[in-house]
Amino acid sequence: MKEVKISDLIGTPNAILHKFGLQVFETVSQHISQNEQVTLSFEGLRNITSGFCNASIGNLYSNFKEIAHQLKLVGLENKPIWKEKVQDAIDLATNPQKVKNQNEAISELFT
Amino acid sequence: MPEYTLRANNGAIHTDIYGYLSLLNFYNYARTVRNCWITLNLDGINFIDANLTALLLAMINSLEKTNKLRVFTDFKSLKGDLHILFRNGFISHIGKKEFEFKPYDSRDTTVPLKYFNCNDADGFVSYIENNLIIQRGLVKVKFTDKETVKTSYFEIFDNVGIHANTTEPIYMCGQYFPKLQELKVTLVDLGEGFLTKITEFTKDSDKITQPADAIRWAINGGSTKKDAKGGTGLKKIFWFCKKSGGSIHIITDGCYWNFTNNGLSTQRLSNPFVGTTIHLIFRYLSI
């Protein structure tokens, strides 16, 4: 089992940039491509954004069909808002209809 | 030395299209001169929403680069409510003393004026956490809503770095109005605006060619990122503003787009400033 600690990888406790998410995606992808199990640790982070989650977790779910069996996320305990962001990223990658429904609700405001 | 007197209806510059036009008039006048000092005379106004100094400083710094202008302001003209320009740091910035004279706001009604390099994620996080989120206007807002505001700004900051195609800094400033229970926050970038990238991104589907449509597309969660889905910064902060009875103003590509609980309005601007300005007005903050 390979462990990737996000804060060590990106060099900051603030995982707020898209490019940080792509860094995580590229690193984890290499291990997943070699059929390794990966533990991705959110420990040591102070902030995450949906942009970061989409570029990292969402991107992994978009590119690897079996990712759920190979990737374990840790450090999200007692962080319901972060869990929600991660789940949203997974939904965005795997369930576009849910996102479409949300967007249509916003569109109705402008009509 | 050329001189421009800032003016506004009843001497008050607010966070609305008229306030924007007041500052834009200064900018467009100053663009006509080069290689000199210019006096910005504030005798014509008695009030300005302090958050608008993010836009004013962005204009001044932009003029310094494009037209080699330096701006002089007579501190003696800062009377009454204009003292806020000392308290939020605007005067320190104008005098190029922002690193020597840290603003002190004895009334605790401002989110200080600051600018950030697009790569300075940690600096921006520190500013949001240590200035915006602890501002007394947001003190009673519940934790989850504060998180929404905080991370939405992080996403907007990230979007500028990716989409605006600029190395110029991002400017930000805010003012809290205790009696009205309003917090007004302005963020300015000097990049390309929304339209160029969105037009390119949508060219093979429902091509977007109008600035107002591009803003709506971005608020709706659209993203031009090609290597992964984008963030939801504008979308979430839009919802939070709407929920709190506030409003959102986005000025980009010559369009002034304003959404309030009364609906949407858009107006075209001639000779607009570069980049994108976003005003967020949060209301009912202490309830």
pLDDT tens, position by position, A3-18: 999 999 999 999 999 9
pLDDT for B236 equals 77
Question: In this predicted model, which residue has the larger pLDDT, B64 or A95?
Answer: B64
Closest residue to A49, CB basis, from B219, B221, B231: B231
Task: Give the CA angle between residues B251, B253, B256 to the nearest 5°.
Answer: 30
Q: Determine the distance in angstroms separating the CA of B259 from the nearest CA of chain A, rounded to an integer.
A: 9
Nearest to A51 among B230, B238, B264 (CB): B230
The pLDDT, as a whole number, for residue B253 is 94
Q: Is A54 within 8 Å of B155 when comparing Cβ atoms?
A: no
CATH number (domain holding residue B69): 3.30.565.10
Chain B residues with CB inside 8 Å of A109's CB? 242, 259
- The predicted model gives B3-19 an average pLDDT of 95
What are the beta bridge partners of residue A18?
A: none
Residue in B17, B69, B86 with CA at minimum distance from that of residue B268: B17
The count of CB pairs under 8 A between chains A and B is: 93
Work out the minimum CA distance from A43 to partner chain B, whole angstroms.
17
Q: Which residue has the higher pLDDT, B22 or B201?
A: B22
What pLDDT, on the 0 to 100 scale, is given for residue A102? 63
The pLDDT confidence band at residue B287, using thresholds 50, 70 and 90, is: very low
- Nearest neighbour of B158 by CB, restricted to A49, A99, A102: A49
CB contact under 8 Å between B158 and A99, yes or no, is: no
User: The domain containing residue A85 runs over which residues?
Assistant: 2-109
Task: Give the pLDDT confidence score for residue A106 in this predicted structure.
Answer: 56
- Provide CB contacts within 8 A for B153, sequence distance 6+: B124, B128, B132, B187, B233, B237
Q: How far, in Å, CA of B70 to CA of A2, rounded?
A: 56
Enter the pTM of the model. Answer: 0.90
Q: Report the residue from A49, A58, A92 with minimal CB separation from B155.
A: A49
Q: In sequence order, what are the beta bridge partners of B174? A: B111, B185
Chain-centroid distance, C-alpha A45: 14
Residues A51, A31: Cα–Cα separation, whole Å: 22
Residues 6 or more apart whose CB falls under 8 angstroms from that of B36 comprise B1, B2, B68, B69, B70
Tally of structural domains, chain A = 1
Domain count, chain B: 1
What is the spatial distance between Cα B265 and Cα B256, in angstroms, rounded to a whole number?
8
What is the domain range of residue B180?
3-283
pLDDT tens digit sequence for A3-62: 999 999 999 999 999 999 999 999 999 999 999 999 999 999 999 998 999 999 999 999
pLDDT (tens digit, 9 = 90+) per residue, B96-111? Answer: 877 777 778 888 899 9
Span B86-94, mean pLDDT? Answer: 92
pLDDT in tens, B130-161: 999 988 888 878 888 888 889 889 988 998 88
What's the token pair of residue B178?
Answer: 């205790």
On chain B, the residues whose CB falls within 8 A of the CB of A88 are 232
Could you report the per-residue pLDDT of B205-246, keeping only the tens digit for each? 778 889 898 888 888 776 666 665 655 667 777 887 888 888
